[in-house]
Structure 1
Amino acid sequence: MSTQIALLRGINVGGHNSFPKARQLELARSAGLRDVTVLLQTGNLVFADPGTPPEETARLLQERILTDLGLTVPVVVRTAAEFAATVAANPYPRAVAEPRTLHVTFLSAAPADTSRLDALDQAAFAPDSFRLVGRELYLYCQDGIGRSKLAQAVGRAPLGVTATSRNWNTVSKILALTGA
């Protein structure tokens, strides 16, 4: 059975966009999604592929969240195969041993303009670094993302697409749920 993963941006973080796990599950099911699993409280849904392109599934979920909860929540959707490819493409394999140091930002599309990212002098932020690979931005922060000046600089570089980040622990758990 094919699977899709929906990554909801900015819910249940810092007291904003309250959207409890049970309500996420209920909303996904009411939107016609089957075999839904919600990982953590922060918007990670794994479900049977509804037969629609991921972009259409994302749009459906965004609309349902707005209609049912009045919340504007960006959603990025990947197939299980795409998610597995993201894990396989990790340019920081040594960071997997310390998963708190590695984050992946999932983008709704490959950015058309990366000039703001390209302009960052990564050597000035060493040992922290990032790599943009297609629709994913991998961010390695040796001392964690909260203290990283590079993470702040990357976050200020607009890419013109929807983006939502997950730490490597969460990425690994989502991948396990897909069975890929």
Structure 2
Amino acid sequence: MPKYLALFRGINVSGHNLVKMAALRHFFEGLNFTEVKSYIQSGNIIFFSEISDTKQLEAHLEIEFNRSFGFKSPVLILNPEKVALALNTHPFLNDKREEDSSIYYIFLKESPATEKRDELDSANYEFERCFLYEDYLYLECFKGMGKAKLNTNLIEKKLGVSATARNERTMQKLHDLLKD
């Protein structure tokens, strides 16, 4: 049975869209997913499913989540290989970082249109740099995400696709949990 990582967008952020992780785990178990684990309060769930189509899983989870919790939250489903690829190929691996610098992995619901990709590639932000791949990007914030102009909301607007971000430490821990 395939193992997956579900990344929910916009839950437990700044006191909005509050969902306890115990309730989210129970929600997954109620949908007959197995070996459900959560990591921190931002909507990261590792689970096993007999369903192998990740887009079908995303659609099913979004509908059922809205029905159960009363608000919409986009969800992205990643397999362990995708997480490993993102961690092991990022363009900042060998760069010396400033003390305040932070790396974010931003996963996109789908690959953006070419013209949208070009628009993001041509943008220049003084304290950030990003590298866009097919359906995810890396964002380095030299002054931290809290001060970044190129945040997830702006990336969604520029690319026209739903996105969710996780920091480097969280992604590494999720990768480790997926290997267990």
| TM-score band w.r.t. shorter chain | 0.7 to 0.9
Change (3 A) 1:54 1:156: closer
4+ long deviations beyond 6 Å: 95-100
Contact 1:95 1:102 in 2 (8 A): no
Alignment correspondent of 1:39: 39
Contact 1:9 1:75 in 2 (8 A): yes
Tell me the CA shift for residue 151 of structure 1. 3.8
Tell me the CA shift for residue 173 of structure 1. 0.7
The one-letter code matched in structure 1 to 2:117 is T
Change (3 A) 1:106 1:153: closer
After the TM superposition, which of the residue ranges 18-27 and 147-156 deviates more from structure 2?
147-156
Tell me the CA shift for residue 80 of structure 1. 0.9
Q: For structure 1, which runs of at least 5 residues remain unmatched after alignment?
A: none
Tell me the CA shift for residue 134 of structure 1. 1.4
Equivalence map 1:71-150=2 (5 Å): 71-94=71-94, 101-112=102-113, 113-122=116-125, 125=126, 128-150=128-150
3-state secondary structure, aligned to 2:72: coil
Equivalence map 1:39-78=2 (5 Å): 39-78=39-78
After the TM superposition, which of the residue ranges 92-101 and 14-23 deviates more from structure 2?
92-101
Tell me the CA shift for residue 152 of structure 1. 7.8
Contact 2:152 2:163 in 1 (8 A): no
Cα-Cα RMSD: 2.4
Tell me the CA shift for residue 69 of structure 1. 1.5
